[in-house]
Amino acid sequence: MQTSLERVLHQARGENRAALIGYIPAGFPTVEGCKRAIDVLIDSGFDAVEIGYPYSDPVMDGPIIQEAADQALRNGVKAKDVLGTLHHATERGAAAVVMTYWNPIEQFGVDKFAHAIAQAGGSGVITPDLSFEQAQPWNQSAARAGINTIYVVAPSTTDDRLRKVTGITSGFIYAASLMGVTGTRTSVSNSAQELVARIRQVSDLPVAVGLGVSTPEQAREVATYADGVIIGSALIKELLGKDLDKGLVGLEELALSLAAATRSANRESPGVSGAKEARGVK
């Protein structure tokens, strides 16, 4: 059976456009504030949301997401809040996944976590620090729960390893646009397009590009060659240190312009990637 995420990506391909995916950590700026922010993203035309599991030692994240996660943890956000936020998004009809470092999954219980994600209507989990070599227990649990296992690949990933990692990935492949941590950048690295092209050689799965994509112009550029555009830090920046209502106004403005930009991208005819179907959970 297809997950909501797979359906959404399939549909976007059918419309010859890239899907727009937004990231926000659960509990940021508060548990309820996060849900309102998710509503804004969905209403502004985001195709899917990634709900971050705030973690004490986020080595993949730059200062903006660190600060947001820190704030969420200071607010006392727990596993149940992450799952509750996921449930909120899926009840609103959005395709939603959780993005988390590995230790919270291990401590929750690997099987139990996969099951809880499915229960909350979640489509899958992005695991940025779960290496291929350590991934088997999670892949088995996720398969049993019928959810997607989304892995991140980087410009430094060798072709041989791209084959391995994409082989255990479902939903979409998360292509890190550059060598570095999350955060806003003035331009999207050239390495992103090269990486997407290399991934196309070994996999038919949709490819979404994240890390450092923050402005409508950058989103439009990425949308010309990728199946998905992932925005994180730029959205969070709208809410950091601001009154929630004012922050949400700014967030909506940015979200609408990102959605318009992504949809207006000039894409090659669907022949290149669109002809190949998005694949279901293996």
Partner 1 sequence: MTATIDTGLFGPYGGRYVPEALIAALDELAKMHQELKNDRSFVAELSHLHKTYSGRPSILTEANRFADYCGGARILLKREDLNHTGSHKINNVLGQALMTKRMGKKRVIAETGAGQHGVASATAAALLGLECVVYMGEEDTKRQALNVARMRLLGATVVPVTAGSRTLKDAINEAMRDWVTNVETTHYILGTVAGPHPFPVMVRDFHRIIGDEARAQVLELTGALPTAVLACVGGGSNAIGIFYPFIDEKSVRLIGLEAGGDGLETGRHASAISGGRPGVLHGARSYMLQDEDGQTIESHSISAGLDYPGVGPEHAHLYDIGRAEYWPITDKEAMEAFSLLCRTEGIIPAIETAHALAGAIKLGKELGPNSTLLINLSGRGDKDVQTAAEYFGMA
Please list, residue by residue across 246-262, b when 16 or more beta carbons sit within 10 angstroms of its beta carbon and e when fewer do: ebbeebbebbeebbebb
Residue of 45, 72, 57, 50 whose CA lies nearest to 102: 57
The footprint of partner 1 on this chain (CB under 8 A) covers a number of residues equal to 40
Catalytic residue list contains 50: yes
Please list, residue by residue across 231-241, b when 16 or more beta carbons sit within 10 angstroms of its beta carbon and e when fewer do: bbbbbbbbbee
The single residue of 61, 81, 221, 227 carrying the catalytic annotation is 61
Place of tokens 């990506």: 9
> Does 161 interact with partner 1 (rule: CB under 8 A)?
yes
Question: Taking a C-beta distance cutoff of 8 angstroms, is the pair 47, 172 a contact?
Answer: no
> Does 264 interact with partner 1 (rule: CB under 8 A)?
no
> Does 224 interact with partner 1 (rule: CB under 8 A)?
no
Query: What is the smallest separation between the CB atom of 276 and partner 1, expressed in angstroms?
Result: 23
- Two structure tokens written together for 104: 């919270």
**C-alpha pair distances (Å), 221 with each of 110, 164, 229, 276:** 38, 28, 10, 22
Among residues 19, 153, 239, 278, the one that binds partner 1 under rule CB under 8 A: 153
Query: What is the smallest separation between the CB atom of 11 and partner 1, expressed in angstroms?
Result: 28
> Does 240 interact with partner 1 (rule: CB under 8 A)?
no
Site string for partner 1, 131-150 (x = CB under 8 A): x-xx----------------
Quick one: which segment of 14-22, 25-33, 151-159, 258-266 binds partner 1 (CB under 8 A)? Answer: 151-159
> Does 104 interact with partner 1 (rule: CB under 8 A)?
yes
- Two structure tokens written together for 165: 């990692």
Among residues 10, 39, 118, 155, the one that binds partner 1 under rule CB under 8 A: 155
> Does 192 interact with partner 1 (rule: CB under 8 A)?
no
**3-class SS shares of the chain: helix, strand, coil, % to 5:** 50, 15, 40
Query: What is the smallest separation between the CB atom of 41 and partner 1, expressed in angstroms?
Result: 25
The single residue of 47, 50, 221, 238 carrying the catalytic annotation is 50
Catalytic residue list contains 160: no
- Two structure tokens written together for 250: 């700014």
Nearest to partner 1 of 178, 256 (CB atom): 178
Q: Which of residues 34-73 bind partner 1 (CB under 8 A)?
A: 55-62, 66, 70, 73
- Two structure tokens written together for 91: 């009840």
* Contacts with 94 (C-beta within 8 Å, 6 or more apart), sequence order: 4, 38, 42, 46, 48, 49
Residues that bind partner 1 (CB under 8 A): 55-62, 66, 70, 73, 78-79, 102-108, 128-131, 133-134, 151-158, 161, 165, 176, 179-181
Q: Catalytic positions, please? A: 50, 61
